[in-house]
Chain A
Amino acid sequence: MSYLHTSCAFIILCAIAAGMIRILQGPTAADRMMAAQLFGTCGVAILLLLAKGLDTIVLLDIAMVFALFAALASITFVRRAWHEQTGASR
């Protein structure tokens, strides 16, 4: 168990908690979605750091799944939600 990696993961988790503010008060829908994407990216970083810090290789696969599915969420957003939301003052 490595102190450095775990505390880095903790700091990135705090960054996620701060990123929630953008979801809550993002003026447009795209801002909210981009904040969710930030969550995904930070999640990948945390998983990689924890994989190193806790010596569990399995976490690398989970990070891979995170990265693959982040694209899916944003593409669905672009296809299914965004063009309806343009002009809406959300």
Chain B
Amino acid sequence: MRRYSTHNKRKRLNPVLLLVLLLTASLTILLGRAILTTDYQTERLGDDVAQFQKLSGVESPVTAVLLNFRGYDTLLEVMVLLMAVVGVWSLTQAPFPGKPIEPGPVQLAVVRLLTPLMVLFAFYLVWKGSSLAGGAFQGGAVLGGACVLMLVSELPWIKNIPSRHLRIGLLAGPFVFLGTAILCLILEGTFLAYPQGWAGSLLLLIETACAVSIGLTLACLFAGGRPKDDLSRGRKR
């Protein structure tokens, strides 16, 4: 019913909106022309990746690009995620739950069965990232899903997690990544240039740490604020 009532009004367009619509349409036409006229055959980075694939220590080209060839990007990106958590934590305290509701038996069973499976699958994805699809981001996302599942069921112990543990987990990824980079700087003379033969295992180490902190980051973003005990604890020590 609501639909029909608004349907009648649709013909009268606001002049400002009409202008916006025109501008958007012209931008769309310009971009469409750009898409049609781009020559994709000349510029290719895939050949370079395929050429140096053996040096990267992993078989999957996407993981090689992410963590080896463009490791700098990924390092900064993990930092960006950390910054997002810093932003959220400085804005507000974790507001949920407003009024806690007891989870029903079905939901408890689902959480109990599903969470270990998700954690297992997350690390499987991280491990598989070296050869096929998968890697730190995907594994971290699944891990974050497991954490969100526990958060959303408001299990009683989840409120009592000391925030220091959380901080350690959040920092693990960037810290390991940065540490490896500095180690490479000392050993090889270049930032993030992994030593020959060690690249594969170093990448796996970095990926595991990053997956843990990405998962925790996503869970903290979902929780929507810093833990309750965070600031008081900081003041005491």
Contact = CB atoms under 8 A, between A and B. Distances in A.
Q: Are A and B physically bound partners?
A: yes
A71 B114 contact: yes
B124 to A, nearest CB: 8
Given A64-B121, A69-B145, A71-B114, A58 B132 contact: yes
A83 B104 CA distance: 13
A14 interface: no
A78 B107 CA distance: 10
Given A58-B133, A68-B121, A69-B145, A75 B101 contact: no
Interface string A61-76: 1101100110110011
Interface residues of A, number: 16
Contacts of A76: 148, 152
Contacts of A62: 133
Name the prevailing secondary structure of the B interface residues. Answer: helix
B74 interface: no
Looking at chain A's contact residues, is the secondary structure mostly helix, strand, loop, or mixed? helix
Interface in B166-216: none
Nearest to A59: B133
Nearest to B128: A61
Contacts, number: 43
Contact of B110 (A64, A75, A83): A75
Given A61-B133, A75-B153, A68 B118 contact: yes
Contact of A72 (B125, B128, B132, B149): B149
A44 to B, nearest CB: 14
Interface string B109-146: 01100100110010001001000111000100010010
Contacts of A65: 121, 138, 142
Contacts of B107: 75, 78-79
B152 A75 contact: yes
Contact of B101 (A57, A69, A83): A83
A86 to B, nearest CB: 13
A71 B142 contact: no
Contacts of B125: 61
A5 B154 CA distance: 42
B113 to A, nearest CB: 10
Contacts of A58: 132-133
Closest A-B pairs by Cβ, 10 of them: A58-B133, A79-B152, A76-B152, A72-B145, A68-B118, A72-B149, A58-B132, A69-B145, A71-B114, A75-B152
19 contacts: A58-B132, A61-B134, A64-B121, A65-B121, A65-B142, A68-B117, A68-B118, A68-B121, A68-B142, A68-B145, A71-B114, A72-B148, A72-B152, A75-B110, A75-B149, A75-B153, A76-B152, A78-B107, A80-B152
Interface of A: 57-58, 61-62, 64-65, 68-69, 71-72, 75-76, 78-80, 83
Given A64-B121, A68-B121, A79-B154, 16 more contacts: A57-B132, A58-B133, A61-B125, A65-B121, A65-B138, A68-B114, A68-B118, A68-B145, A69-B145, A71-B149, A72-B152, A75-B111, A75-B149, A76-B152, A79-B101, A79-B152
